[in-house]
Amino acid sequence: MANQPVQTITSKPHRVTKRQSEWRIFYRNFKKNKAALISFFLIILFIAIALIGPLLTTYDPTAIDYTKKLLTPNGEHWFGTDHAGRDIFTRIIHGMGLTLYVGFVSVAIGAIFGVLLGIISGYYGGVVDSIIMRTMDVLLAFPGILLAIAIAGVLGGSLNNVIIAVAIYSIPSFARIVRGSTLSVRKLEYIDAVRALGASDFRIIIRHILPNILSPIIVQATLRVATAILTAAGLSFLGLGAQPPTPEWGAMLNDGRSYIFDYPHVAFFPGIAIVIIVLVFNIFGDGLRDALDPKMRKR
């Protein structure tokens, strides 16, 4: 019987793309920072609570019941009740959605306009650069919270006006960071090569510059969420943000300041909620910055 040829099956080697390699390096560096990793999971938990938490609570966050006002924490009301008899735990759960909504939306709006202005300024330079950057310098000349107070005061007290105020307050920081990154990328040789091949400015910006400056934008956005949440809470505390009976943490803190000595729980729980969520976003942003920093990448 003739010998049959033996067929060997060779598997096609898996090629790791540059993007996959960079993702692996980022993940390896990020997971080394245990505090940032824990903060990431806490942010996921906060988002989940904001989405499904209100469906699981048994009390109405705005219902007034003076027969239960200023109760200390107990088995029925875990965080106690406020001066109107409203369950503080329920109001904090409902307020988490408002807090994250204000933080994410205001930063997203500020990032969109800031990135647009920063890229235009850094890419075209000249008179355009001078006009945009001098405008940003004027906005940066005012302390951030004072600028937000002035904008919210002009627009009036409401949650949407807080978002607009915080978004305007966030634009200059994004614009300056993006301008600096655009200036460094614009000088690279491959940008000149793409331009020599006839690519339009729009294509160069979208396909070649923006993808290479995403890292500082992502880090700045993450850190800015914490600042936006703190600023929004401050505006609500001053009466320029969410209006009663909206369960916003800054407004709750303002309600509790009158009872801080006799019934400290009314102010303590909204205050500690603000501290925790701001701290978590700051730690997560610092971890992202370290993981995305080329100097921290060790292959």
* Number of domains, the chain: 1
Predicted local distance difference test score (pLDDT) of residue 11:
47
- SS3 annotation, the chain: CCCCCCCCCCCCCCCCCHHHHHHHHHHHHHHHCHHHHHHHHHHHHHHHHHHHHHHHCCCCCCCCCHHHCCCCCCCCCCCCECCCCCEHHHHHHHHHHHHHHHHHHHHHHHHHHHHHHHHHHHHHCHHHHHHHHHHHHHHHCCCHHHHHHHHHHHHCCCHHHHHHHHHHHHHHHHHHHHHHHHHHHHCCHHHHHHHHCCCCHHHHHHHHHHHHHHHHHHHHHHHHHHHHHHHHHHHHHCCCCCCCCCCCHHHHHHHHHHHCCCCCHHHHHHHHHHHHHHHHHHHHHHHHHHHHCHHHCCC
Residue 172 lies in a domain: yes
Contacts of 157 (CB under 8 A, 6+ apart): 239, 240, 241, 243
Predicted local distance difference test score (pLDDT) of residue 18:
56
CATH of the domain at 31: 1.10.3720.10
Residue 68 lies in a domain: no
Long-range contacts of 37-44 (CB under 8 A, 24+ apart): 37/287, 39/280, 39/281, 39/283, 39/284, 39/287, 40/284, 40/287, 42/280, 43/280, 43/281, 43/284
Cβ-contact 158, 251 below 8 angstroms: no
Residue 280 lies in a domain: yes
Torsion of CA 227, 232, 237, 241, to 10 degrees: 170
Residue 61 lies in a domain: no
Structural domain that includes position 123: 27-56+75-294
pLDDT by residue, tens only, the chain of 299 residues: 455 555 544 444 445 455 566 677 777 878 888 899 999 999 999 999 999 988 888 899 988 988 999 999 998 999 999 999 999 999 999 999 999 999 999 999 999 999 999 999 999 988 999 999 999 998 888 877 888 888 888 888 788 888 998 899 899 999 999 999 999 888 888 888 888 888 888 888 888 888 888 888 998 999 999 999 999 998 888 888 888 888 889 989 988 888 889 999 999 999 999 999 999 999 999 888 888 765 555 44
Residue 70 lies in a domain: no
Cβ-contact 83, 69 below 8 angstroms: yes
Residue 12 lies in a domain: no
